[in-house]
Structure 1
Amino acid sequence: MEFRSETRNETETREAASGPLPVDSLDQLVDLAKGQPPERQHGLLKGVADLYRSTGGRNGAPQALGDAFIALVHVVAADIRQALAERLADADWAPVALVQMLATDAIDIARPVIAASPLLQDGDLLRLLAETSLDHRVQVALRPGLGVAVARAILEADDPTVMTALASNRTAALDGECMSRLVSRSRELAALRAPLARHPQMTPELGARLYQWVGEALRQAIMERFTLDPTRLERAARAAAQQAAPADVAAARLTAKLQASDQLRPATLIRALREDRLEVFIHALSRLARLDLDQVRRALKADTARPLFLACTAAGLDRAAFPAVLSEVRRMNHGFPRDPDGADWRLAERSASQAAYEFQLLMAPDDGRPV
């Protein structure tokens, strides 16, 4: 069965459906769609969509027709919703409520409308950041022309994956404050460094700051881009390497002393967390597991608990103790690392050396270069 818009003129359609659609009519339409094979569902939905557009779209189509359009989308198969989302990606005539609904659907359906729909406003994007999955939030961060209010909300959430996507979005409205915060965050989050070094909003001043903690390849790119004084930059980089927060210095000294006296144990990790000494935990974990300190810090900001679990396993911590460790770390670390499904870290038994190897694979920079 197909809807054919040419069987009614625009005036007749408006008169027939100008008021609210009777509930039994909506129910009949939905029941009809439910009982059809996918190809007929697609034809039925296409007919209603064409009719909605031809009668004025969101600015002129009868409310009843919009209700019918949205009700049909609720019951058709996922692949049909995906095809519809691709069709409506840049449409300005679709019902706003329908576009908002598609934007919260499974990510393959949501991606086209999040990326391009002119009907999604900053308020809609902020709700997506607050209420949807990591994949949805990443797509929001990648949206062309993203507004500064949404960019600031991403920075406030401090999710490493979403921030990295934002740094990769060269059309986002990143003001000086946003860029400065991203550069500061890149000191611990290595994935931010390469996209920031090439970002069109990067300034010579911010480039000089970024230079202090990036690898050799990115240092060369920064110097070539801004023609900065290499001698001055090297002095700044050495000063930054020597500068550390008092808590960090104290933690490094304490763990070095414990290790030298053969008193550094997995139990040290538990004790540090019970005493609210997160820096001691980080340094002790790095030394016990023989892992790079910067990589351990990144693991504590990850969007999954798996790297932290692997590091703890490499350090000799009993896996039965990890749920308590994760809970304490997240309490002191603004909810990081994320643990979205509560079971992402539950890996099969592995040796300390195997866990260390898997950790290093997970935490390696995307470009494969040392940072």
Structure 2
Amino acid sequence: MVVSHFLKWIHTAKVSERAAAASALARAYVDSDLPFEDRCAAEAALTLLLDDASSKVRLAIADALSMSHHAPPQIVSALASDQPEVAALVLARSPLLTDGDLIDRVAGGQKATQRVIADRPRVSMSVAAAIAEIGEPEACVTLLANSGADIASISFRRMAERHGHLPMVREALIADVRLPADCRHLLLVKVGETLKGSPLVLALMGAARAERVTRDACIKASVTLIEGTHAEEHTALVEHLRLRGDLTASFVIRTIAHGKVDFFGSALVALSQQSEQRVRALLAGGHDIALQALFLSAGLAAATHAIILRALKVWREVANGKRLAGVQEVSWLMLKELGGQSAEGDLAGLVKSIHLDTLRENARGHALAIAAA
């Protein structure tokens, strides 16, 4: 169809006819090797069709142009700002939209638009950062489900901070293998805060007990979290805990009691400001006097040194294949350093609680194994 005749015809054509003709013209523009004058005329006609009263016409153009590298950029830009049904096709597919274009539309705040952009085949780190920073929860969930999205650690953290209290976002974050360890800990804290403020929990326990129970549960969960954390993430997790005020002496003692020697070393590096090489060497084979000096420089009270040294020696023997032992035996030996079951004081209470928790866990595991046999 000659473009000049087409422009006269559209004024009397039905909507379905205009949509079909618009689609054909758009596909001819991107798929055919038109002469220069015909291309200019086709581009002018497509631009005119952007003002068509029917969204079906604009939708037909969007469908034809949405995946082309050769589509007229001004038409793509206009379609991307059209009503959601039309814009979605271009926002989801068009390779002509820059990161700046996409970020501007994320900032527009429409849920449907944000979700479409978050689900593009490839989402750059800057666009993902915009969604993490200002996106609605639904857009963040879509982004996390997108394997083609390049998400920076700080963007994971912002999603956890902004929406971690929402179950759908929290579950999507936890399910993502890319999630940094410090973000996983932040989500643990979010769960604890939610439980602590639950009307049911407050009614059953009271505010003071709910605070204590959730705090203890978060500490235990944090120790368990270390098991699934790669060694290269330990430094970031330690810094996160330190900034939150959670890297306490009691937490450090729990980590060594549970055999998290590598993490214990990362904590000592952060707290003592000594080199990682020196700390690792001392933990692997340092004498007690040198280790006690390290503990002091890390701010660990002298009263804690004996039980830490006892645990460290056992875990060294286990690592060297000279001994078989677990948390139950190690925590018992730590408690013996303090005087056994009759020992009193906060430190003894902490070690007792570690030992009793381990006894319960081991007994539960044994019972389940018997039931499964």
TM range (shorter): 0.3 to 0.5
* TM-score (normalizing by structure 2): 0.46
Larger helix percent: 2
Larger C-alpha radius of gyration, 1 or 2?
2
